[in-house]
Homo-oligomer: A and B are copies of this chain.
Amino acid sequence: MKKKGLLIVVSGFSGSGKGTIMKQLLKKYEEQYALSVSATTRQPRPGEVDGREYFFRTTEQFEKMIGQDALIEYAQYVGNYYGTPKAYVEQQLAAGKDVILEIEIQGALKVKKKFPDTLLLFVTPPSVDVLRERLIGRGTEDAETVKKRLGRAIEEADGVEEYDYLVVNDDLDTCVEEVHSIIQAEKLRVSRNINFINEIKSELKGE
């Protein structure tokens, strides 16, 4: 029996290395995972391929997707739309793949509201000191840059208490294995297997 896959949202501080972790995870367990590709109305940058980095859409096309409820979540940044097309995610889940979305917390919480089964992971550097170092550098940045980065990090952490797991990126390989373990272990949660439990109980009582 092919079980439905799990929807996983990964967020984290800029510089937490979450992109690299996900790339390694998908490379190592390509049979198991699928990475969701976002749609956007921004222009492709040199080297970006439609359907790989993003699905590049016109504003008209994007707003049509909104109207058809074809996006799991979407938001506007600097005059452009960004969103997660629903169809691809649902196809992959139905095929038993665990689908990973890499989005920030506010989008993640919208996804969780729509799909309460979603697993939320947040990636951080190994300590506050390391985070601080990555954010403000070694004292060579000007005050304005430091202030801007800290401000962004505060925004990036807003709502993290509602996440399920905190993944500490100390060593890349360890971290990839941790993420894989978290996701696979999560499938064994009683709340995700209530049908199996009810089946056992009714079988026992029906004899």
A161 touches B190 (CB 8 A): yes
Looking at the assembled complex, report how far the CB atom of A144 sits from the nearest CB atom of chain B, in whole angstroms. 13
B201 touches A157 (CB 8 A): yes
Chain A contact residue count (CB 8 A cutoff)? 41
Residue A166 CB within 8 A of the other chain? yes
Contacts of A155-207 to chain B: CB distance below 8 A: 157, 160-168, 178, 181-182, 184-186, 188-190, 193-194, 196-197, 199-201, 203-205, 207
Residue A132 CB within 8 A of the other chain? yes
A189 touches B201 (CB 8 A): no
Residue A150 CB within 8 A of the other chain? yes
Residue A72 CB within 8 A of the other chain? no
Instruction: Please give the residue numbers on chain A whose beta carbons come within 8 Å of chain B beta carbons, in ascending order.
Output: 122, 124, 128, 131-132, 135-136, 146, 150, 153-154, 157, 160-168, 178, 181-182, 184-186, 188-190, 193-194, 196-197, 199-201, 203-205, 207
